[in-house]
A and B are shown apart, each in its own frame.
Chain A
């Protein structure tokens, strides 16, 4: 994990002194982290039920309003407890 992460961090610096990155490749790379996260959460939520869907919506709303990861975690967890209880 350390090695492959460092390769990506140093790779761009190394590569750009040699080649020009085309625009479409740049766009494709930029979208990767988001696409991976969607691929993790999508099937997970599809397998879950209404309490998780509701809590997911709460986490989404809190993250969007506050831009705070820890706050989104806390409210998502509180919401899932609440919704599972009812």
Chain B
């Protein structure tokens, strides 16, 4: 991703191009991202319902959505949620599953290097998969609106938190989850995320490695460490595949 990005036309014109960071950019990013933010809200409702089912309070779920803003990591934290809370496992898994953001941030660098540290490092807090893709498209087409990531991210942030609250309030009103099949809801959501992440046949090898190692580790290790081990096995298999 980054190798191609640094050779893009925008990069070669870097010297004579300045980025603007203004309220207009924020507003335009916000408005253009609203349709996407609406679809994110559907996901947020699902997260809220599942969080409430796992015993997370409405306030805790809203706080998590406001400060973390990373859908897959939040759902995994909910999956791992128990009393006492397995803090180490949750933080380690959050870090690993979010490592993709390192790549996404790296791809923004050619444009963000022309903003002030406060503007760029403030904006990246609002990175989500959806508005990152929108912003990359915007920048690659030659836009100088440096505040676009912030504006589009704010749209996602607001819809994400509101949807979490709606989901958590209705989720808390439902009694025994298994009676309504809701014990299966998180699995269904993970399957849907996997479908989104399926990038074609090249995914087969790393996913098979992850599957095999996770099943093996789950039968011999206590706790949920098999999730991290499976993820790392998939990563390792992909590194070997690409390097070979």
Interface positions of A (Cβ within 8 A of B): 1-2, 4-17, 21, 23-46, 52, 55-56, 59-60, 62-64, 67-70, 72-73, 75-78, 80-81, 84
Contacts and interface: CB of A to CB of B under 8 A. Distances in A.
Contacts, number: 260
15 contacts: A1-B91, A6-B124, A12-B104, A16-B109, A21-B106, A23-B242, A24-B243, A26-B2, A29-B100, A29-B102, A30-B100, A33-B193, A39-B228, A45-B187, A76-B184
Given A8-B99, A13-B121, A41-B190, 18 more contacts: A4-B94, A8-B95, A11-B101, A12-B101, A23-B3, A30-B1, A32-B100, A32-B231, A33-B97, A37-B72, A38-B211, A39-B229, A41-B191, A52-B184, A59-B188, A68-B42, A70-B46, A72-B191
A70 B125 CA distance: 25
B194 interface: yes
Given A4-B98, A70-B45, A13 B188 contact: no
B62 interface: no
Nearest to A13: B105
Nearest to B69: A5
B230 A42 contact: yes
Interface stretch (B19-27, B73-81, B139-147): B73-81
Interface stretch (B7-15, B28-36, B202-210): B202-210
A30 B103 contact: yes
B70 interface: yes
Contacts of A15: 102, 105-106
A70 B71 CA distance: 13
A38 B127 contact: no
A36 B127 CA distance: 20
A70 B191 contact: no
A9 B125 contact: yes
Nearest to A25: B239
Q: Name the residue in A15, A30, A34 with the highest tally of chain B Cβ atoms < 10 Å from its Cβ.
A: A34
B233 interface: yes
B112 A13 contact: yes
Nearest to B126: A9
